[in-house]
Amino acid sequence: MIRLLDHKEESTAEKMLAVQIPAYKIEAEWIGFDGIPQLRDTIHDIIISEEVFIGNYEGTQLAGFVSFTKTDELLDICRLVVHPYYFRKGIATALLKHVLSLKLENQQVLVSTGAKNTPAIQLYENFGFKKSKDIEVEPNFFITQLIYR
């Protein structure tokens, strides 16, 4: 079940971190970079975030979530994470499909991921995202920015 998360509630923020940290640890291994900022997030960071968070539950368990910010022109996906236990069960696909259903007619959707995160890039490309550019955020470490129109 997909639903809006009340990330300002401490217990919800705790559950979100319990998904986010293991997911980003796996990504860090895949891309060979442990400097992903969300790996250092705390409950407080989640609570004060201005992002909108939408979660996917399997029964009562939070399996994954997506977050974004938006303006009239841009919907910016900030994070899309799935707990490793729920990998390859369609959670990320369902969350991305849900977010794209919120897109306004003239809005672009932007997302960034590690340039070596092949599974994420394939997911976005399967939805029609196009690679926009690679950005070097650390010496010899690149993120790929993708855009959906």
Q: Specify the pLDDT at position 136.
A: 93
CATH for the stretch 2-106: 3.40.630.30
148 pLDDT tier (thresholds 50, 70, 90): very high
Residue 16: closest CA among 59, 80, 72: 80
Q: What DSSP line would sit under 60-113, residue for residue?
A: TEEEEEEEEEE-SSEEEEEEEEE-GGGTTSSHHHHHHHHHHHT--TT-EEEEEE
**132-139 average pLDDT score:** 92
Single pTM value for the model:
0.94
Q: Specify the pLDDT at position 20.
A: 97
Mean pLDDT of the chain: 95
79 pLDDT tier (thresholds 50, 70, 90): very high
Query: If you ran DSSP here, which 8-state letter would residue 51 be given?
Result: S
Does residue 76 have a pLDDT over 90? Answer: yes
Does residue 138 have a pLDDT over 90? Answer: no
Does residue 135 have a pLDDT over 90? Answer: yes
Domain boundaries, the chain: 2-106
Take residue 123 and report the two structure tokens written for it: 């997911």
pLDDT tens-place string over residues 34-68? 888 898 999 999 999 999 999 999 999 999 999 99
**124-140 average pLDDT score:** 94
pLDDT tens-place string over residues 84-130? 999 999 999 999 999 999 999 999 999 999 999 999 999 999 999 99
